[in-house]
Structure 1
Amino acid sequence: MANRERGEVEFQSLGKTWTLKLGVNAMCEIEDATAKSIAEIGALLGDPKTATIKLLRTVMWGALRDHHDDITVKEVGAIIDGIGMNEAGRLIGDAFAAATPEAKEGAGHPPKATAG
């Protein structure tokens, strides 16, 4: 079971329970994969004009790796297909919020992710 106090967000897709966590390792992997800072990623995902499906999938991949270390990007695409892009964006926004519970939206905290 996900522990919100530890920044974890749990959800169901493809008949399985998944846990997102945007810890330091996940953030570093996401930054490596995108060549962008977490702050840039949050801003891009928070704006429907700059949010891309590829970025959404990459962030979800990185956030899943803490609990599902062997997951592939292709599998993450299937997970997103199972829940829909809007739900994936909401979950990523929740994961950002859980990672920085003391932050307030608009004060350096990325807003809820949107998908184009």
Structure 2
Amino acid sequence: MAVAGLDAVLHAVADGTRRAIVQRLAHGPATTGQLAELAPMSRPAISQHIKVLQEAGLLRTTVAGRHRWHSLDHAALAVVEDWARRTGKIARAAPALHLPEAPDKEKP
């Protein structure tokens, strides 16, 4: 599956359950059942989270017998990493914004 754009990837990881799935898969492949153990919700609910991550290109699924094995697709994370690196580089190169200091409040 192709990697979706930055917006889709950021939307996918905006949810805490999906971030937990991505973090788990960073350690290696897992079955749907193993991923379901990460959160107290039904398997259909976990499957919906997996679908969002698949659509964003963050994970790949392989069917082996009765099990679906999910693994992290690092290319989608590279999209976010590249954006963060470019944005940080621009921010470091920009002149510092100097705001006037707020006047001290006088005590009564």
TM-score over 0.5 for the pair: no
Return the TM-score normalized by structure 1.
0.32
Give me the TM-score of the superposition, normalised by structure 2: 0.33
Q: Higher relative contact order by CA 8 Å / sep ≥ 6: 1 or 2?
A: 1
Task: Kindly name which structure, 1 or 2, has the bigger radius of gyration based on alpha carbons.
Answer: 2
